[in-house]
Structure formats: C-alpha cells, structure tokens
Amino acid sequence: MKPSKTMKTKQAAAGHAGVGIDDGALSRYSAPALEKGLDILEFLSERARPYSLAQLAEEIGRTKGEIFRMLAVLEARGYVEREADTDHYQVTDRLLRIGLRRPKYRALTDIARSVMDRFAAETRYPCHLAIASDEQIVVIARAESPDLVGVTVRVGYRQPLLETGSGRCILAFMGEQQREDVLSLMKRGGVKVNRAALDAERERIRKKGGIVEESRIMEGVWDISCPILGAGSEDVVAALTTPYVQLLINQIGKDEVAARLREAAREVTVRLGAP
C-alpha cells in the first residue's frame, strides 16, 4: 500500500523535528554551506590559538576555496575575527552573547549583576559568574574592582572544569545525573578521572560551602568560589568566583573576602527562587 499524503507529511515533520531520522533522511536534509560554517565555528571554539585560512582548511578537511567565502561571511556577521598582525582567524564571543539571551541565563545575569557590583565595590575585589558548558566552565558575567590593580577574567573565558575553582565548585554541587554525564564526557575526551579523589573532594567542598584554595592556573592567586543553587533544589546553577591576590593597597584578608562572597552567592540564590 502506498503511503497517504497525510502519512508523508507526518514523516517529513518527524524528520524536521529530529525524530527517527535515518541516514537517508539526513542526506535529504543536508545543508552543505551550513555544515561548513558549523565546522569552522566548532573547530575554532575548541582551540586556544588562531588559525590561518590554510591551516583551518587542512584541519577540518576542506579546501581553501570551500571555506574562504564562508569565513568572509562569518567575519562580516561578527562570529569570527582576524588578528591584525597575522590575519589568522579566531572566534568572537557573539555565539555566547546569543546563548545568554535565553531566558534562564538572562534572568541569572540580571539578578546577579547588582549583587556582584556591590561585592566588588565593598571588597575592592573583582568577581565573575561561571556556568558549566559540557565538561568546561564558561564565564558569562563579571564585575570589576574599583582599583586599578588586580586579576580579572574576561567574559567568554573557558577552561576545563577540573582546572578552575569555579569548575570544581560547580562539579561538587551538581546533581547526580548531570555529574555522571560530565564525568563520562571527560573520560571520552581522554581526561584521567580519579573517581575516589573527586568524590572525597566533593564532600569537602560541599561541607565548606565552596572553595578557598590556591589557583591551579596562576601562581600567587587564590580561587574563592561559591555555588549559586537552583530554587527548591541543591542542583547548582552557577558559581560566583573571585581571584584573590593579597595587595598592599587592599588589606582585606581572603577569609573575609570568602565570607562576603558566600553572602553574595546566597543572595543571588534567594533572588532566583523568589516568585
């Protein structure tokens, strides 16, 4: 029996919705230009350095002719940019800014911003807000210190969860399923995961309500990080963090900064849960 027009319509709709699409359907709905653009963005977003046109073409398995016009469009739309000295390409934070327009992230940053600004003004230390993105953290907002000296982290900054105070704080307060998913991603990516050590660390961090420890990235810097939790749940939403350096012009100790940061994180948590 031949499929009816209605059946065909339902099958097409299911394909567009991403339900039950086989390999044949995928080829029918392929968009080569879009795929090239996504290949470029995904590759550059995972790299710490810019790439030339030739290097980029070789790395993603395309010819220079295939990606030249695509790079020109992405640059014109603000998704990639070129270094002035080398003409090498790197991604901008445009995709991040688009993602942050989602209601849940917009609400988080809107609520946290005034609290962060007040913390920075009162302690004279900067702070930043980070969320989990797969097995990495990404910084989505920051508040500057009124002083001219200090350590700051830019919006869009990414690092593996296990290498930052923010990331390990977020991992410690994750719900069980999300934590298992993230640890699985790490293992598939070749990261050696000492599960017993991570579980013990998780208990310590949760008991203390956050992290106060020497940075694993910068010498002389302490990571002070506290969780922002979801309403009616212990699942973590984000981490509020300040990179602490003892300055002669600012004699507030790290313990006091940590106490103030915990208060700020609690305030954001309460505001998120407010009706």
Return the pLDDT at 236. 84
Return the pLDDT at 25. 52
Any idea how long the chain is?
Answer: 275
Whether the predicted pLDDT of 128 surpasses 70: yes
When comparing pLDDT for 19 and 93, which is higher?
A: 93
Return the pLDDT at 170. 95
Torsion of CA 191, 197, 202, 203, to 10 degrees: 170
Q: Which residue has the tokens 């290097």?
A: 55
- The top-scoring range by mean pLDDT among 13-27, 43-57, 125-139, 226-240 is 125-139
Whether the predicted pLDDT of 46 surpasses 90: no
Return the pLDDT at 258. 96
Q: Which residue has the tokens 């991403």?
A: 18
Percent with pLDDT over 90 in the chain? 37
pLDDT band at 99 (very low <50, low <70, confident <90, very high): low
SS (H, E, C) 166-206: HHHHHHHHCCHHHHHHHHHHHHHCCCCCCHHHHHHHHHHHH
Please state the φ and ψ torsions of residue 201, each to the nearest 5 degrees: -65, -40
pLDDT by residue (tens digit) across 170-220?
999 998 888 999 999 898 888 888 999 999 999 999 999 999 999 998 899
Residues 110-121: what's their mean pLDDT? 94
Mean predicted lDDT score pLDDT of the chain: 83
Whether the predicted pLDDT of 104 surpasses 70: no
What is the rounded CA–CA span in Å between residue 202 and residue 11?
47
Domains recognised in the chain with CATH numbers: 24-92 (1.10.10.10), 97-273 (3.30.450.40)
Whether the predicted pLDDT of 13 surpasses 90: no
When comparing pLDDT for 122 and 66, which is higher?
A: 122
What is the rounded CA–CA span in Å between residue 16 and residue 23?
13
pLDDT band at 169 (very low <50, low <70, confident <90, very high): very high
Do residues 240 and 127 lie in contact, with contact meaning Cβ atoms separated by under 8 Å?
Answer: yes
**Pick from 177, 100, 95: nearest CA to 131:** 100
Flag whether the pTM goes above 0.85. no
Q: What is the DSSP letter of 4?
A: P
What is the rounded CA–CA span in Å between residue 129 and residue 105?
11
* Stretch (H or E) spanning 136: strand 136-143
Return the pLDDT at 97. 65
CA distances from 7 to 2, 11, 14 (A): 10, 6, 10
Distant-in-sequence contacts of 151-154, Cβ < 8 A, 24+ apart: 151/126, 151/218, 151/221, 151/243, 151/245, 152/126, 152/128, 152/243, 153/126, 153/128, 153/241, 153/243
Return the pLDDT at 177. 87
Return the pLDDT at 12. 40
